[in-house]
Amino acid sequence: MSTTVFARSGTRRRYRVTFRAIALMLGLSSPLAAGEYAGAYLDYGADARGLALGGACGALCDNATSFYWNPARLAYVTGLEVDFMYASHFGSLREPLGYYYYVGAALPLGQATLALNFVRFAVNDIPRYPAYPDDQYSVAERAAAIHTRGGTPDGWFRDREQALYLSFAKMNRFMLDLGWLYFSIPLEIPFGGNVKILSQQLDNATARGIGIDAGVSLQADLEEVLVRNDLGRLTFSVVLSDLTRTGLDWDSKVDAIPPGLRLGAAWEIPLGRFDLRLAREVAYKYKNRYRHGLEIEYNRMLALRAGYDHDQPAFGAGFRYNEWGFDYALLATDLGPMHRISGRYTF
């Protein structure tokens, strides 16, 4: 099904896109959208650092936003931490088509960590037009019918999509004994998981669902393995999302979010006052996505980042000062640049 859509914000501006593109970029996981894109807003990220790394963050994350990239890595949170992000979706920063918000907190309790995180995606002023069935109107005829009436819709409605994540992670440390002829390697293998409660309101229709994610990480210091102190750390990551095929239950149907698998690896290399981090990740869901990330950080204070998610480049920077940290990401998409700003405070 295809139609023409106009968006209003202040002065009325017109964005012409097919309905399929709207489902992709606005994440309308509803009976109106193709099932393949159910819960699309859950793929919008949780912090600018991970997005600037192209999403290859499952083996690098170590803060409250780890619930999104790999819940096992919540085990590396060292103190009570609050994170937040704001993102405008398509259009200008002042007049975007959609808004995305994230806020969350993580609290370490001994060898375990608990986290509570909330994400919300909202689209205002979605125009409502008469139905033009595919079997009766061509694309050109539908466009002509809308233009004949001056583009004036019958009314407006809103889309609200949100998810509440309850997360748990546990750190496991042990020595891998390779025998008396060799040596023992200290390993860190945290595991973690999310229970997420989803809800959506599209016009007068509502849907709810519950999903489960799980992750594990393995981290080893290469100094212990190769007896050199300049090789840094090697980390592997495995994340399974929507293990139970998360369903969004509408009155008329159920949209399902299929399970996903992400495999990642990262190498952190100390270079004096600098730290170099290289990451790669493969995501399997609707289609295979290959992600690459690079970060160079100076004195644990300033960072520059670059990434590549399948066919979309990303860039960003970060700044830390005392308890505060701020990150920025610029994402290149088919519909133009997208900006992300996130921050955190550690108590």
- Helix/strand/coil for 42: helix
Q: What is the pTM of this model?
A: 0.83
| CB atoms near residue 301 (< 10 Å) | 12
* Polymer length of the chain: 347
pLDDT, tens digit, for every residue of 18-41? 333 343 344 443 333 334 567 888
CA-based nearest residue to 113, from 46, 165, 57, 191: 191
- pLDDT reading at 16 higher than 50: no
Q: Which residue's structure tokens are 């999310």?
A: 194
Hey, what domains does the chain have and what are their CATH numbers?
7-346 (2.40.160.40)
From 264, 298, 290, select the one nearest 279 (Cα to Cα): 264
Please state the rounded mean pLDDT for residues 47-68. Answer: 96
Upper half-sphere CA count for residue 27 (Cβ side, 13 Å): 24
Q: What is the mean pLDDT of residues 99-120?
A: 94
Look-up: residue for tokens 């599209």?
202
Residues 28/248, Cβ–Cβ less than 8 Å: no
pLDDT of residue 36: 54
Three-class DSSP category at 203: coil
Other beta carbons within 10 Å of 48 = 28
Instruction: Determine phi and psi for 144, rounding to 5 degrees.
Output: -65, -40
Cβ neighbour number for residue 10 with a 10 Å cutoff: 7
Structure-model confidence comparison of residues 6 and 68, the more confident one: 68
- Least Cα distance to 340 among 310, 298, 309, 311 occurs for 309
Residues of the chain above pLDDT 70, percent: 84
Instruction: Using the structure block, give the residue that is written with the tokens 């931490």.
Output: 81
Q: pLDDT per residue over 325-347, tens digit each?
A: 999 999 887 777 888 999 999 99
